[in-house]
Structure 1
């Protein structure tokens, strides 16, 4: 009977592992990068095996720029995520990346596609990871999370230059309804959700005193203050 129970536990473990690999390949890849043809290039950084020296340098440069941007904003780093970087589309699809340029996996890791090996995309995803690490069990709306990532990455697709008096690419009044709408990743780009979110967050930061406004917000959330009490945006 004991042997039967042990065999059953082993079988269930194997089945659970197989389900994890099939349903959540990104999580499985974080646990075992080498199982997904990724090799370590430096602590916490894994690049697709077979990448050229130039491609590995591109990864290093993008991550270095992202690290600098996050440290400059927060005054340091709270997160130490594992990075999975692909230099081919096949690699990224194997990790479950789909059509995205990059993906943040909670506060544990981030994945970068061949098109995501840039300072902007690396900073965007690292911004998500850093915020989640600092939030802990607290949370913010998805629009705020995405808008902050756009601001920290200084993404020119969704923001006017930092020297502009107003960084919004559209009227603030057009962006405000986003605060009461659900964030749908499938339609976010088509509905201008990213520039709207960036507009809202950049406006709030400018009015609240950036960057100290974010640590103040996080401290308030940790104390139980509702997000809507701290973050108020008016035209």
Structure 2
């Protein structure tokens, strides 16, 4: 069967347009999400591949590596104890300098950050400066929630105050009590101090998005963290250690996060013999 010159020319033009379109998509993707692109292509960089889920900067010394590996393992144990089992499968990227950390994390602040993608890949980027078990546990908790609920639900259903507040339940940098009620009381003390005795506080709706939570000065971000920690620690003190598992299972099955969160809280308050101190976020 013969192909006409017109057909050849048409297919050539279409093929060229498709190629240009794909190139434009890739360039746009790199411009908008360069940090995600770098994470996805870390295996082609000079980072050393320890295994499929762990890449290490060649500048990190062996003693530093051993310390970081041990820290990750301890954090994994803490996460498994909190969740019942560690299901997260994030790829760890261990950086050796602020420049490397900013390249993969898209931020030069902090010692760790976590990223999730719509197609299910997740990454935890760590910087050896200031790295400890609390930092890794915090980021791994984000990944656990992402793994259970997926990118879409975590992004559209779960408010940022809950995502950050939950991670603080494993992060003892601000409040180190492991007792649920005492942890709530300690977070309330921190919150009262930052709000000048509950005079200047943030409503939960104000920090329900990533932008609302992190946009602002250092005091705003710290107050957002303490507000999230106080709210989630109160909820955890009411619903108990099985609460987070029950919530994520129901949300994973299609129930609304907001509805499940409130239903579990109200049911726990009715049957609880303990009356927790109230705040303007939860008036009598």
| SS of corresponding position for 1:10 | helix
Deviation at 1:87, TM superposition (A): 1.0
Deviation at 1:225, TM superposition (A): 3.6
For 1:195, the equivalent position in structure 2 comes to 226
| SS of corresponding position for 1:110 | strand
Q: Which sits farther off after the overlay, 7-16 or 81-90?
A: 7-16
1:110-121 correspondence runs (5 A) = 110-115=124-129, 117-121=131-135
Deviation at 1:79, TM superposition (A): 1.9
For 1:227, the equivalent position in structure 2 comes to 257
Deviation at 1:43, TM superposition (A): 3.5
Deviation at 1:142, TM superposition (A): 0.4
For 2:245, the equivalent position in structure 1 comes to 215
| SS of corresponding position for 1:79 | coil
Q: Of the candidates 152, 168, 187, which is equivalent to residue 150 of structure 1? A: 168
> Radius of gyration: which is bigger?
2
Q: Which runs of 4+ in 1 moved over 6 A?
A: none
Given the two structures, how large is their TM-score scaled by the length of structure 1?
A: 0.85
Listed as ranges, the gaps of 5+ residues in structure 1 are none
| SS of corresponding position for 2:107 | coil
For 1:22, the equivalent position in structure 2 comes to 31
Q: Hey, which of these two has a bigger chunk of helix by percent?
A: 2
Asked if structure 2 preserves the Cα contact closer than 8 Å seen for 1:125 and 1:149, the reply is yes
For 1:167, the equivalent position in structure 2 comes to 186
CA distance in 2, matches of 1:116, 1:52: 16
Aligned residues: 232
CA distance in 1, matches of 2:203, 2:147: 25
Deviation at 1:189, TM superposition (A): 4.2
Deviation at 1:64, TM superposition (A): 0.9
Asked if structure 1 preserves the Cα contact closer than 8 Å seen for 2:161 and 2:213, the reply is no
Question: Structure 1 residues 117 and 9 mapped into 2: Cα distance closer, same or farther (>3 Å)?
Answer: farther
Deviations 1:142-198 (A, max 9, x none): 0010001011222x22x2432582331234994985322133313374221112211
For 2:270, the equivalent position in structure 1 comes to none
For 1:71, the equivalent position in structure 2 comes to 80
Question: Structure 1 residues 144 and 20 mapped into 2: Cα distance closer, same or farther (>3 Å)?
Answer: same
CA distance in 1, matches of 2:217, 2:225: 7
Given the two structures, how large is their TM-score scaled by the length of structure 2?
A: 0.71
CA distance in 2, matches of 1:176, 1:225: 30
Alpha-carbon RMSD across the aligned residues, in angstroms, is 2.7
Asked if structure 2 preserves the Cα contact closer than 8 Å seen for 1:25 and 1:96, the reply is no
CA distance in 1, matches of 2:130, 2:50: 18
